[in-house]
Amino acid sequence: MQSIEVSKDPTVQYLLRLGDTCLVLSQRLSEWCGHGPVLEEDIAMANMALDLLGQARGVLARAGERERRGHDEDQLAYLRDERDYVSATIAELPRGDFAFTVLRNAIMATWLELMWQRLQASSDDKLAAVAAKAVKEARYHQQHAADWVVRLGDGTDESAARLRAALDALWPYTRELFDADEVDEHAARSGLGPAWSELREPWMAQMQALFTAASLDMPAEPKFRSDGKRGSHSEHMGFVLADLQYLQRAYPGGTW
């Protein structure tokens, strides 16, 4: 099935960045289905994956409408190539162990909660409506993840060591979440949504509080730069998309 190309219009790109980040994170979380350490957490991961999928759907559908090329959310999800996916790199990293998963969830849910909060006042009414729903969901995800981060950080030597290892692995990828470019400037100017850089300060404050509770040291500012939000992904992204897109690529338009 032929790939589609999407507009480089900054409004469309801003929406795709958010929608893609939710979608790819949802895909990674859904991998826990049937593999959770206990049944309750298996269910929790699947539930959060579902919320993120619904959020991605709302945002991608809006991206398609604003693009005006007739692309719906399914086409945007299934028919774009890796370079046209503009999700933050942190979302595509392999799910790792449970410590890695809950720490990434805490990082992302905190970021998304701040993002949805701001987007409730978006100049785009439909995006604001998606945000008003999503903000409550993100808050719940955040509490679930934070609860686990504290439990592991404050638990056994093994759980604390795993959490520290997860932090070392994840932290370099957080810089991308606050690095603004012309897409952000355009969004901030038009009232579509905040520049990603605006979320850094409140996010850092919440992370600091969480790390203190979990006996984790705040790492130094990362020097590493990842760039998934501009289409340059890690080596893991191709595998994510192979899983996500296989069916629609092999059987175009196939439905259940």
Partner 1 sequence: MTWGLAPSLREKHAWDVLENVPDPEIPVISVRELGIVRDVRVSGGVLDVFLTPTYSGCPATEMIEQGVREALDAAGLGPIRVTTRLAPAWTTDWISDEGKRKMQQYGIAPPDHTRDAKPMVFVPRLTCPHCGSRDTERLSAFGSTACKSLHRCRACMEPFEHFKPI
Binding residues for partner 1 (CB under 8 A): 40, 43-44, 47-48, 50-55, 57-58, 125-126, 128-130, 132-134, 136-137, 139-140, 143-144, 147
* Helices 98-119 and 10-30, axial angle in degrees (round to 10): 150
In the complex with partner 1, the residue whose CB is nearer, 22 or 88, is: 22
Nearer to partner 1, 139 or 236 (CB): 139
Alpha-carbon span 196 to 35, nearest angstrom: 33
How far apart are alpha carbons 145 and 122 in whole angstroms?
27
For residue 143, the minimal CB distance to partner 1 (Å) is 5
CB of 22 to partner 1, least distance (A): 9
- SS3 of residue 232 by DSSP: strand
Using the minimum distance from each CB to partner 1, give the nearer residue, 95 or 133: 133
Residue 44 Cβ vs partner 1, minimum distance, rounded to whole Å: 4
User: In the complex, what is the shortest distance from the CB of residue 129 to partner 1, in angstroms, rounded to a whole number?
Assistant: 4
Least distance to partner 1, CB of residue 51, Å: 5
Q: Closer CB to partner 1, residue 55 or residue 117?
A: 55
Q: Specify whether the CB–CB gap between 18 and 115 falls below 8 A.
A: yes
Q: With respect to partner 1, which residue has the nearer C-beta, 122 or 226?
A: 122
Residue 256 tokens read as 């259940």
Closest to 152 in 3D by CA, of 219, 96, 102, 220: 102
CB of 225 to partner 1, least distance (A): 31
By CB atoms closer than 10 A (0-12, 13-18, 19+), residue 220 is exposed
For partner 1, the closer CB: 143 or 215: 143
3-class secondary structure for 152-164? HHCCCHHHHHHHH
Task: Enter the tokens of residue 192.
Answer: 């579509």
Beta strand residue intervals within 81-130, DSSP E: none
